[in-house]
Structures are given as C-alpha cells and as structure tokens.
C-alpha cells in the first residue's frame, strides 16, 4: 500500500487522520516537531490501530532536514500537510513566526515533491479564508476576503503557492477548508491536547466542566443571530479525518478533475455558542458555569458550510451529530484528567 507522509501527525486533526489512514492499510510516516503535541500520541494511535507509525521529529523549517527526509523516503506517494501554527491571536503578536513556520515549511516540502514524477498533496486549510462571508451557507466559490490575521493570511498564501506549483510540476493537490473541528476519537485514546488556556470553545467548555477553569466567557451576546451568540459549523474530528482519506484516495486513483481542487469540510449546519453549551449540558447532565461578556476581537458572526461539493464530488459527508461530537470531547476530557 502507498506510503503517506503526515506532517503534524501527532496533532489534533493529524493524529485522527493517521488512525484512519492506518485503518485503511496505508503505510504512514509521521513528521512532527512536538511543538504543539506529545510523543505519547503515538501510543494512542497504536492502541487504536494496532500499529505504531514510523515517526520523525523534524522541524520542517530546517530545509536540509526536509531534503534528507525525502531522500531517505524516496517512495512517498503523497503528503498530508497539517503541520502549522494555528493560534489566531498569537499570529497577530508574532507574524514572522507564522510566515516562517506555515509558509517556509510548505515551500520546502513542495520543493521535494516537485522533483517527483508524480506526487499527491493534501493541504490543511481553513474556512477562515472566507472571513465573514456575505451568504450562508459558504460554498467554495465564495469570494476570499482579505485575511483578518497573519494566521488566516498564511492559509490564503499557502493555497496560492500550491496553485502556482501544480501548474509547473507533477504535483496534484486538494485543499481542504475546515470549519470548526471538535471532539475526540470514540475510543478515548486520542483527542485534543490544548497547551495552556484553550482558545477554542469546546475544550474550554470541557475544561470548565471538569473544574480546570472557573467559568466559560461567552464572547458576545449581541450578534445578529437567533440568540445573540456567534454561529459556527462544528464538525467531529473523526469525520474530518475520514475526509482526508477520501481525498487522498481520489488523488491516488486519479479521479481528480483538476490538478488542484478545493473542498469545504463541515456539517452544513450552524450552531450558536449557547446551543453548544446546551448540547454539552444535555450530554453531560451537568450545568455549565458561563457568563456572557464582550465580543472577542476578530470574531465573525456566522460561518457554516455548503457541503454540496464535498458530498457530491468528493463523495464524503459527516456522520456524527453535534451531541455525539461533544460527548466524545467530554469523554476525552474526563479520561485525560483521570490519569
């Protein structure tokens, strides 16, 4: 079976994708610099799939190490590229860290793949490229807005770099624009491991419920939505991981219609912050301590996906409900805190 490199493969979405790849029989090599992940995730992947992937602790900003990796692994069929810094707020404070890490690493990987007679590349992008879209649900044809953060800009520029490179190389690419990934593998063996205070909603909810945080601050209750809180498209991370395998198989089987294709990955349903809180209280049987405070700088009002293209062309759709995703996140939080 084809050898696939997964960069950032010990991270939240990366590790869940490695599980699904190994479940499908792919030979996986993980690259991760452990800056936002833990080596123990390899054991979790092994407990789920019965196989520990080969692992290389390379920092992809080190060009010579990237070159020697791909010389050693000259039989790589494809790369799924997750490795990137992803904290919106941090990117505003430290833009060069984001441009170097998110774009420098991308260039070095593509320079190795362009040497090949054929290569397949899947890029972890984000709905953040749409900014606040005018029309809901958001389709892939929705105009890209000027980025609201260096993080978002690295996703936009990354997509443009790939689009330029596929024109003059044997690389075929698929850009996957994620909406809001949440949850954890149902086994409880892997999940999200936010470092420090979680920026994202669901890990903050579960850390509040487990007693790590005093209360959740709901950033804004005066948005023009049904209940005044922001709306997002929360997608189970396992559904998201499975989409990567489907996309990879599309490229390996040469079913792609163009050398670069773009797909939005979401459920197609928007949920407000209060609806997520209510869903958590329902699945956990616990009341959540929260208060509505001022809006968070940079937040958009609403974003949820038009899933037609992913459903009809990619042949993928989400299987899990919001409550199932939140249940898996809560199970994971309880497990992580029980050790």
User: Which residues are catalytically annotated?
Assistant: 151
Under the criterion CB under 6 A, does residue 241 sit at the interface with ligand WQD? no
Tell me how far, at minimum, the Cβ of 217 lies from ligand WQD, in Å.
5
* Residues 6+ away with beta carbon under 8 Å from 304: 136, 137, 138, 179, 231, 232, 233, 266, 267, 268, 269, 270
Q: Restricting to residues 285-324, which ones interact with ligand WQD according to CB under 6 A?
A: 296, 299
Asked whether the beta carbons of 220 and 302 are under 8 A apart, the reply is no
Question: Which of 48, 166, 230, 322 touches ligand WQD by CB under 6 A?
Answer: 230
Complex with ligand WQD: residue 139 or 300, whichever CB lies closer: 300
Residue with tokens 């807005």: 145
Q: Which of residues 37-66 bind ligand WQD (CB under 6 A)?
A: none
* Per-residue contact string for residues 69-108; x = within reach of ligand WQD by CB under 6 A: -----------------x-x--------------------
Provide, rounded to whole angstroms, the least separation between the CB of residue 196 and ligand WQD: 13
Which residue has the closest beta carbon to ligand WQD?
230
Q: Please report whether residue 219 would count as binding ligand WQD according to CB under 6 A.
A: yes
HSE at residue 314, side-chain half, CA atoms within 13 A, is 26
Of the candidates 268, 285, 255, the one whose C-alpha atom is nearest the C-alpha of residue 319 is: 268
Q: Of 55-63, 69-77, 157-165, 211-219, which segment contacts ligand WQD by CB under 6 A?
A: 211-219
**Dist CA 319 CA 246 (whole Å):** 14
* Contact with ligand WQD (CB under 6 A) among 204, 280, 316, 330: 204
End-to-end CA distance of the chain: 37
User: Taking the CA of residue 43 as centre, how many other CA atoms within 13 Å lie in the half-sphere pointing to its CB?
Assistant: 3
Question: Which is closer to ligand WQD, CB of 55 or CB of 130?
Answer: 130
The distance of closest approach from Cβ of residue 218 to ligand WQD in the complex, given in angstroms and rounded to an integer, is 4
126 belongs to the binding site for ligand WQD (CB under 6 A): yes
Read out DSSP for 163-224?
HHHHHTSSEEEEEEEE-EEE---TTSSS-----SS--SHHHHHHHHHTTSSS-EEEE-S-SS
With binding defined as CB under 6 A, does residue 7 bind ligand WQD?
Answer: no
Count of other CB atoms within 10 angstroms of residue 257? 7
The rounded distance, in Å, linking the Cα atoms of 132 and 145 is 8
Per CB under 6 A, which of residues 162..181 are in contact with ligand WQD?
180
* 199 forms part of the interface with ligand WQD (CB under 6 A): yes
Residue 140 contacts ligand WQD per CB under 6 A: no
Q: How many residues bind ligand WQD (CB under 6 A)?
A: 18
- Which residues are near ligand WQD by CB under 6 A? 86, 88, 126, 128, 180, 199-201, 204, 216-219, 230, 232, 273, 296, 299
């Amino acid at each position: 079976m084809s050898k696939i490199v997964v960069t950032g493969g010990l991270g939240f979405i990366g590790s869940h994708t490695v599980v699904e790849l190994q479940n499908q029989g792919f030979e996986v090599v993980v690259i991760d610099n452990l800056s936002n992940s833990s080596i123990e995730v390899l054991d979790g992947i092994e407990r789920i799939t019965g196989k520990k992937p080969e692992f290389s602790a390379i920092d992809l900003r080190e060009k010579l190490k990237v070159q020697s990796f791909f010389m050693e692994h000259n039989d790589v069929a494809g790369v799924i590229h997750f490795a990137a810094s992803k904290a919106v707020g941090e990117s505003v404070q430290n833009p060069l860290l984001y441009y170097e890490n998110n774009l420098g690493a991308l260039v070095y990987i593509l320079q190795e793949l362009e040497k090949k007679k054929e290569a397949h590349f899947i890029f972890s992008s984000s709905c953040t490229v749409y900014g606040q879209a005018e029309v809901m649900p958001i389709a892939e044809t929705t105009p890209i807005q000027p980025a609201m953060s260096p993080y978002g800009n690295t996703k936009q520029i990354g997509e443009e770099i790939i689009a330029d490179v596929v024109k003059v190389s044997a690389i075929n690419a698929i850009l996957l624009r994620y909406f809001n990934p949440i949850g954890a593998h149902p086994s409880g063996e892997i999940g999200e491991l936010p470092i420090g205070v979680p920026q994202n909603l669901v890990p903050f909810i579960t850390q509040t419920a487990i007693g790590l945080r005093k209360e959740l601050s709901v950033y804004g209750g005066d948005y023009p939505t049904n209940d005044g809180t922001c709306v997002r498209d929360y997608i189970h991370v396992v559904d998201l991981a499975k989409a990567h395998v489907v996309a990879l198989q599309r490229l390996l089987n040469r079913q792609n219609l163009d050398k670069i294709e773009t797909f939005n990955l979401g459920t197609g349903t928007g949920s407000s912050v209060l609806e997520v809180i209510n869903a958590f209280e329902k699945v956990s049987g616990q009341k959540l301590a929260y208060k509505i405070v001022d809006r968070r700088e940079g937040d958009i009002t609403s974003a949820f996906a038009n899933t037609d293209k992913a459903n009809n062309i990619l042949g993928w759709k989400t299987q899990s409900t919001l409550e199932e995703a939140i249940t898996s996140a809560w199970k994971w939080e309880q497990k992580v805190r029980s050790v």
